[in-house]
Structure 1
């Protein structure tokens, strides 16, 4: 999960983004102005910023430029209702990593967020950690510990566990796991996914520790990592 900053002056859109992203486990700070965005960026150090370019107080492109200076390691995604290609180009040149046009599709937005965080957000930074009961993942160091003892995983096993942990408590389809962990253009058998799931269960089960999350099979869909109760 990550710290997200939403900069959106439209009350309806902002409310939808705030509730949807929180429902998926993210820590969300929502502000409606450019000045609020600059203040929030300084105070909350977000991993990813969703920035509407049409702000009421400051030019969105200038806010983007200043956020890039303030947050050199964060992902900046601009949201725009503008259809002119030049506006998008200017936003990207100001430091944005990506853009989405309104009206937004929430599934696409969440997929983009996951992809960016995987490639350049907290998963690759020193603060990228996940803790679920006795299970602790150090994403930057690619280490897994259970009750303080390190567990040795192969590269794909680690990536799969990290991907499930990113949406702990939520169903993740087989197609999404294959695309995110292996490759978007994977054409081979998905049996390899089942083999890696089985290996993860063996590795975690072999520790004998209590308070571990459970990898639940969802027949006909995929898997879910349930946090310990």
Structure 2
């Protein structure tokens, strides 16, 4: 199967299924979270379209359970909610992209293609990145310092990977946005500050490190801060 659509609104779900099939994709459509979760854990889909408001198990929980069980299939989350914090809530569960209803089918199709393309690129590129004792594996969504593993969401890992691939170089907020978010994302760069703050709390603060530097009016830089601070 290419695409799994988990959407309880039959009109939207059927339209997505039929439209994507006309594009040449093989599509499976289910209307509840539990069935969607089970199918996503059992089948290697290319991408999952996931509604938030689902009967039984809501979309946030479905996405979180998928990431917890090691499923790395890209997830495009659909929601009737709007606003930066709602988006952050969805992305923090491990979603790769976010689309607010009502949405343009053309935009949704472009985002799905981008997610599928990125996944193909990730499977061919080197997945293990190291900076001092900090390491991250983009293929398994794992990160850690030394032997201690650190739990990151899919989006947090991508932001960190962007910095790690450009170790020692200053990366602007816009550059991070362009690499990690789809071009159709119409939010501002302030979302980057949210993710940098979260990454610092997870990969630096518990280890008394300061590896993510803020470069005033320029962006951020990942350094090899391998020493602890009293």
Scaled by the length of structure 2, the TM-score of the pair is 0.51
RMSD of equivalent CA atoms: 1.9
Unaligned stretches of 5+ residues in structure 1: 127-183, 185-229
Q: In the alignment, is the contact (CA less than 8 A) between 1:68 and 1:95 conserved in 2?
A: yes
Q: CA deviation at 1:73?
A: 2.8
Task: Tell which structure's C-alpha radius of gyration is larger.
Answer: 1
Contact 2:33-2:57 at 8 Å conserved across structures? yes
Q: Show the counterpart of 1:45.
A: 44
Whole-Å separation in 2 of the counterparts to 1:33 and 1:108: 24
Contact 2:5 2:50 survives alignment (8 Å): yes
1:164 aligns with: none
d(CA) in 2 for partners of 1:102, 1:111:
16
Match of 2:173 in 1: none
1:76 and 1:97 in contact (8 A); partners too: yes
Q: What is the alpha-carbon distance in structure 2 between the residues aligned to residue 3 and residue 125 of structure 1? A: 16
What's the secondary structure of 2:102's corresponding residue?
Answer: coil
Match of 2:110, SS state, is helix
Give the match's secondary structure for 2:5. strand
Q: Is residue 41–residue 71 contact of structure 1 (8 Å, CA) maintained in 2?
A: no
Question: Is the 1:48–1:75 contact (alpha carbons within 8 Å) kept by the matching residues of 2?
Answer: yes
* Offset at residue 124 of structure 1 (A): 5.0
Structure 1 CA distance, aligned partners of 2:121 and 2:70? 16
Aligned length: 125
Equivalent runs, 1:8-157 vs 2, <5 Å: 8-70=7-69, 72-120=71-119, 122=120, 125=123
Paired residues of 1:7 and 1:30 also in contact (CA < 8 A) = yes
| 1:43 CA displacement | 2.9
Per the alignment, in what secondary structure is the counterpart of residue 75 of structure 2? strand
TM-score by length of 1: 0.51
Residues 124-155 of structure 1 show CA distances to partners (whole Å, capped at 9, x for unaligned) of 548xxxxxxxxxxxxxxxxxxxxxxxxxxxxx
CA distance in structure 2 between the partners assigned to 1:73 and 1:51 by the alignment: 14
Give SS of 1:103's match.
Answer: coil
Q: Partner residue of 2:225?
A: none
Q: Distance in 1 between matches of 2:56 and 2:3?
A: 21
Q: Distance in 1 between matches of 2:78 and 2:69?
A: 19
Give 1:27 deviation, angstroms: 1.1
Q: C-alpha deviations, 1:77-109, integer Å up to 9, x for none?
A: 100011243221111010001100111211111
